[in-house]
Chains A and B, each alone.
Chain A
């Protein structure tokens, strides 16, 4: 099957006053199949949000795409003319940002905010736009649709705001939705609700999704594949079940172990210390050469300090970058 979105060898760096250029993504490659949910997992600073924004060339002004290609419907989005890109942004590839209260305009009714997205991409009559806006809202709000369309963002709950943002994203029937931590600000009950919304949209509309999160547990039973980013590089990628059940990269397994287990009342176990990954992944503490996880890795070998590991293929779709594994 042909992929709907393909990212090849993406290199992105940021400029700042102190450092000439700081690489944030170094050589990220992956593809997204139609209707697939790809979970992107990583700590803050791993380059998750940069990945989301550079696909649509929405990087801040000090961001620079040094190398790579983003192929969508046969076009390289990194080289396409701005007018061509405008027709893709929001219409064919939609982006959902982290904070629903910041991403919505505070003094425009949410119905109007969705209508404006449609109006920007479709030149149909006013009545048709209104009709379509209503259809989109009905997909996300089974009750109270009209009241919610007339509401301002501050009159809605966190979960409703997140749904309104999703309405904006799916209004033009995109084939790819990139969601950057869409549930981070929500409590677990609402979080589950939004995950279910994404699930049913995928089923109904056949959306392909890139779901960015820092919470591995959220991806269980939801994502089809998981990609793990560490310090701007893909360290592991594979089918969700395989990665979650038997992670191969030392970083992935250490990350999973640092989560407290829902022990269900094992009294001895709670109040014990959690296993932690020592150190941090700040740019300043990354090694100059060798594997970027080496200083924090409990299984590091001599070779890790000298050479950068290449991606090794373990199964049909499971890849990992670590010297522990050989093809």
Chain B
């Protein structure tokens, strides 16, 4: 299968900040390499501070990597000019961890879903609204709610709206940065099903950033485990869950809380 995204030796160093921070800065990504095939899901797991979110923002072109290459459809995003990035960003969308703070609560649902199209200046007003409404329906929000403010939505509905907004520009890659972590488990299941359905229908590529290994294994084809800015282990979800090789993976796996009836796989088999 064709690789839609190829990351080569990506490095991101945050400069020393005024008085806090270490003198040489903070190395958030320390030589990360991987590829993602089109239409599949790669889950990036790791403990907090391992560089998962930095990786997401680098791929979404929100951060400029310090070194390394980021190939997307034959173009190297790491060295692209800002004017080019502006054309690429719509194709790689990022969904933020907390839907409550990612959406302006006073804006109407429609305004939020339409905004990306407005910024891109692509369609006429009527077409914009139609596109947004059909996406709202697709993620399970009814179009007659469109005029209501986002503040009236529940957590799950907000996350659906965030997904609809990300989809308006028809991205090829959707980066989900802890997109399910803030939700209740019954709502998590609803959104997880929605993601699987979208992938089946639109053939989208997902980068699923999370610290929830169970959900990662459920949604992803492949799992990459990060620790201290490096990918320490990568493989198919079933292989990682069955026989984790690296200590960091084993530690993550053994810390997963579980209900008593589910058999816990031995961490070091």
Contact = CB atoms under 8 A, between A and B. Distances in A.
Contacts of A264: 241-242, 263, 265
Interface residues of B, number: 46
Contact of B252 (A189, A214, A263): A189
A267 B218 CA distance: 10
Contacts of B35: none
Contacts of B258: 217, 220, 262
B215 A214 contact: no
Interface string B189-201: 1101100100000
Interface stretch (B2-10, B71-79, B179-187): B179-187
Interface string B164-181: 000000000000000000
Contacts of B196: 271, 273
Interface string A252-277: 00111011111111110011011111
A43 B187 contact: yes
From DSSP, what is the main secondary structure of chain B's interface residues? Answer: helix
Contacts of B219: 270-271
B262 interface: yes
Given A189-B251, A271-B219, A255 B213 contact: no
B257 A270 contact: no
B62 interface: no
A187 B37 CA distance: 28
B186 A187 contact: no
Q: Label chain A's interface by main secondary structure.
A: loop
A155 interface: yes
Interface string A139-166: 0000000000000001101100000000
Interface of A: 43-45, 154-155, 157-158, 186-192, 214-218, 220-221, 241, 244-245, 254-256, 258-267, 270-271, 273-277, 280, 282
The 8 closest A-B pairs by CB, nearest first: A265-B238, A265-B242, A264-B265, A260-B218, A258-B189, A217-B257, A274-B189, A188-B255
Interface of B: 20, 46-49, 154-157, 184-190, 192-193, 196, 211-215, 217-219, 237-239, 241-242, 251-253, 255-265
